[in-house]
Amino acid sequence: MSRFFRALVILSLVASCGGGGGNFSAPRNLDNACSIAKERPAYMKAFRKAERKWGVPIHVQMAAMYQESKFIGDARTPLKYTLGVIPMGRQSSAFGYAQALDATWKEYQVDQGKRSARRDRIEDATDFMGWYMNLSRDRNGISLSDARNQYLAYHEGHTGYKRGSFYGKSWLMRVAGEIDERSFKYKNQLRGCRV
């Protein structure tokens, strides 16, 4: 094998690692919690760890993450365009599995002393979700097992939730209902599989 060809193969392998070495693609079957658990055992390990630390049930975490990123580690919001063709940046700074905004992620890093935490690392993303949902419970009285209202507070922020900003957004109310249904479905599926 020539040196050039060997170097090309090595370069291709390094490039395929995605910079952080993570698998950022979505699991194959997003409608089945057991399939996700089997395909991505590291996800389940992270969900369990966050559940133990923060008390947020695995199925609630999974339903919120499904909605936010479809379990894609490097997910970003769509680009905004001017005149329909000129890209003008992203719709927001949301990034990663949990689609955390820059400012909220920095608040989490400071509060938890995790300056090296990354939004595209599943363990950090699940820990962030647990942290945020606990704040939602403390500030707005939302049960950690209430996927619908936890998601509304996650989407609108704690102040927006308190003000009821979601009431004027019928699309968001529909999405929150879908998350509640998905959470219930994941909960039932997880009872019947070994994870």
Q: What is the pLDDT of residues 40-81, one digit of tens each?
A: 999 999 999 999 999 999 999 999 999 999 998 876 655 455
Using a cut of 0.85, tell me whether the model's pTM lies above it: no
Q: What is the pLDDT of residues 117-159, one digit of tens each?
A: 999 999 999 999 999 999 999 999 999 999 999 999 999 999 9
Average pLDDT over residues 5-32: 57
Q: For position 195, what pLDDT does the model report? A: 62
CA 145 to chain centre: 17
User: 26 falls in which pLDDT band (50, 70, 90)?
Assistant: confident
Q: What is the pLDDT of residues 55-64, one digit of tens each?
A: 999 999 999 9
Q: For position 194, what pLDDT does the model report? A: 74
Check residue 94 and report its DSSP letter: -
Q: For position 8, what pLDDT does the model report? A: 41
Which run of H or E residues covers position 87? strand 86-90
Average pLDDT over residues 35-39: 94
Q: For position 90, what pLDDT does the model report? A: 45
Q: b/e map of 35-74 (b: 16 or more CB within 10 Å)?
A: ebbebbeebbebbeebbeebebbbbbbbbbbbbbbebbbb
Task: Determine the Cα–Cα distance for residues 143 and 136; give it in Å rounded to an integer.
Answer: 8
In the chain, the N- to C-terminal Cα span, in Å, equals 44
Task: Determine the Cα–Cα distance for residues 45 and 37; give it in Å rounded to an integer.
Answer: 9
